[in-house]
Amino acid sequence: MMRTEFYQQHLDRVSRSFAFCIRQLPAPLRDWIALSYLLCRTLDTIEDAEWPKGEKQLAAFREFDQALLKDGQEQALDALITDFSVAIPASERLLLKDAPTLFADLRVLPAPVRDIIRELVSIMSAGMQHFTRKKNGGDLRLQTLSEVNQYCFFVAGVVGELLAKLVACVEPRFPLSQANLLRAHHFGLFLQKVNLLKDQVGDEKVGRHLIPSRELVEASSAENARSALEFLLDIPEQQMEFRRFCAWSLFLGLESVSVARRSVSEQRILKVGRDRTQEILAEVESGLGDNGALRALFNRFQEQLGWLRSAAAQPIQAKEVPSWLLSLYRGPLDVAALSQLGMAR
């Protein structure tokens, strides 16, 4: 079963940049990733909406979880869609309307693929619920860099792990080692921190104070980006389409850091322009199969951003990783890897 155009229509509405990147992925990976992303965007809608009461929001998360994890639970989706009376963009309301189709598609995927998506999306939901409970008067305020890392871990790092596992389903030469999964999480953290930096002005207007220090968050995103590069360079040439997908995401993300700086200085949300986007994609394409060329391009972006390699962080003791995080994350990363992601800082 292929729903490429159905998924693409929703992707074009809710995330043009991701829709642009996903178009060139091969089947069946393209539909698996598109479906996963749309499920995650449905969760984002629950998280980002301005709910009058936190308990109503948590109930919406539980209804999503029920539909995600249990077959034949359409009534949970009916309740979610019917009760979603808060104001949301039209594109997200259309996505909610088609949520039953998304979950029906999930149920008929090959069992290994279905299980991967269910596991990682449910972990994302659990993390979002944790931070929903931390709201004070309807506002979410992250106080430290470790909280930023923990937040990004659940809303984006697990997406990196999901992508790596889906690629491994079609590419036996792509290793699911602890080191590679760690780099996949770094990739997710980098892209999410770019979003936080870029959207800070709009987020804070609606009570989402997610950046305690732009300097610290950007410096940590630089470290995440360096590991993301290693993830990209480790993708086998036999998966050139996925390599392109990741390369576009990484280098457009790097350009977005510059845009994020201007967004704050001008107090408005800006985006990478079309001409600059095309220029970056052409540069990526010219070196896509050459690790040396991609590394040189990455270093050029680092130089333009003024990023200097910081001293290696001191290792963090496993006992410092929060117990609540270990209870919510059920994936393969051990406490040492979680520490390297900054979960305990």
* pLDDT tens-place string over residues 118-172: 999 999 999 999 999 999 888 999 999 999 999 999 999 999 999 999 999 999 8
Residue 40 sits at the vertex; the CA angle it makes with 240 and 33, to the nearest 5 degrees, is 25
Half-sphere exposure of 89 (CA within 13 A, CB side): 12
pLDDT at 56: 86
Phi-psi region of 199 (alpha: psi -120 to 50; beta: other; left: phi over 0): alpha
What is the C-alpha to C-alpha distance for residues 31 and 25, in angstroms, rounded to an integer? Answer: 9
Residue 310 has pLDDT above 60, yes or no: no
Four-CA torsion 330, 335, 340, 345, nearest 10 degrees: 100
How does residue 6 score in pLDDT terms, banded at 50, 70 and 90? very high
pLDDT at 74: 64
What is the C-alpha to C-alpha distance for residues 66 and 72, in angstroms, rounded to an integer? Answer: 10
Query: pLDDT digit string (tens) for 320-342?
Result: 899 999 999 989 999 999 999 99
Percentage of residues in the chain having pLDDT higher than 70: 94
Residue bearing the bigger pLDDT, 257 or 175 = 257
pLDDT at 270: 86
pLDDT at 187: 98
Contact 223, 310 (CB under 8 A): yes
pLDDT at 314: 44
Phi-psi region of 235 (alpha: psi -120 to 50; beta: other; left: phi over 0): beta
Least confident of 11-25, 130-144, 239-253: 11-25
Least confident of 79-83, 180-184, 226-230: 79-83
Summarize the confidence of residues 86-106 as an average pLDDT.
89
Backbone phi and psi for residue 178, each to the nearest 5 degrees, phi listed first? -60, -40
Residue 227 has pLDDT above 50, yes or no: yes
pLDDT at 32: 97
Residue bearing the bigger pLDDT, 266 or 233 = 233
pLDDT at 40: 96
Summarize the confidence of residues 53-63 as an average pLDDT.
88
How does residue 315 score in pLDDT terms, banded at 50, 70 and 90? very low
What is the C-alpha to C-alpha distance for residues 27 and 32, in angstroms, rounded to an integer? Answer: 8
pLDDT at 2: 62
How does residue 192 score in pLDDT terms, banded at 50, 70 and 90? very high
pLDDT at 318: 41
* Average pLDDT value over all residues in the chain: 91
Four-CA torsion 83, 87, 90, 95, nearest 10 degrees: -40
pLDDT at 214: 96
Percentage of residues in the chain having pLDDT higher than 90: 73
